[in-house]
Amino acid sequence: MTEVLDGFDLCKKEGHIRTKVANPRMQALCGRCGRLRGPDEMERDLGAERRWVIEAAEVAQYVHDPVAVSVALNSCRDLRIGNGPWRNVSERDWILEAEEEAVDLGAYLTAALQEMGEGREDEDADTCRMLLKIALAASVTAFAALGEFRRTAS
């Protein structure tokens, strides 16, 4: 006997859930039931991710020990996002996500510079200001490169 499903049964069978997510770009709501659709996923190539970070560290400005920096960055990434698949792939604009993160990084760094102030005159003040400005320059570089990528890819 053929199973007859109405729209809501089909949604339930497809794994649509009632909960909402905080990020509005991740809300892939079903037009039929109004629930979140199950996530579409892309398996991650963790080896390639680690290799790309090492390659980037080798050519990045102000990186004296590319191996140590890439190991630290990869470790932080693994702690923050784990090793599971990328989720909601069809709903994401990866370049927009990266541009937003570059903007956030720049904002945090300008806040740190402002908080530090110009009045600090201890022996490490100039070094600290320089390091924050180097990081700020990296966020500007990332934002510019992403914009150029968007123009080139379209």
Say whether pLDDT at 87 is over 70.
yes
Boundaries of every domain in the chain: 1-38, 42-91, 93-154
Portion of the chain with pLDDT greater than 70, in percent: 75
Alpha-carbon distance of 4 to 1, in angstroms, equals 9
Report whether 44 contacts 111 (CB < 8 A). Answer: no
pLDDT digits (tens, 9 = 90+) for 2-39: 566 565 666 666 665 555 555 554 456 666 666 666 66
Q: What share of the chain is helix, strand, coil (3-state, %, to 5)?
A: 60, 5, 35
Confidence label for 71 from pLDDT (cuts 50, 70 and 90):
very high
pLDDT digits (tens, 9 = 90+) for 47-62: 999 999 999 999 999 9
pLDDT digits (tens, 9 = 90+) for 125-134: 999 999 999 9
Extract the tokens encoding 56.
Answer: 């980037």
Look at 117 and 151; give whichever has higher pLDDT. 151
- pLDDT for the residue numbered 36: 63
Q: What is the mean pLDDT of the chain?
A: 84
Three-state SS for 58-87 is: HHCCCCCCHHHHHHHHHHHHHHHHCCCCEE
- pLDDT for the residue numbered 144: 97
Q: How far is CA 14 from the centre of its chain?
A: 28
Report whether 148 contacts 95 (CB < 8 A). Answer: no
Confidence label for 72 from pLDDT (cuts 50, 70 and 90):
very high
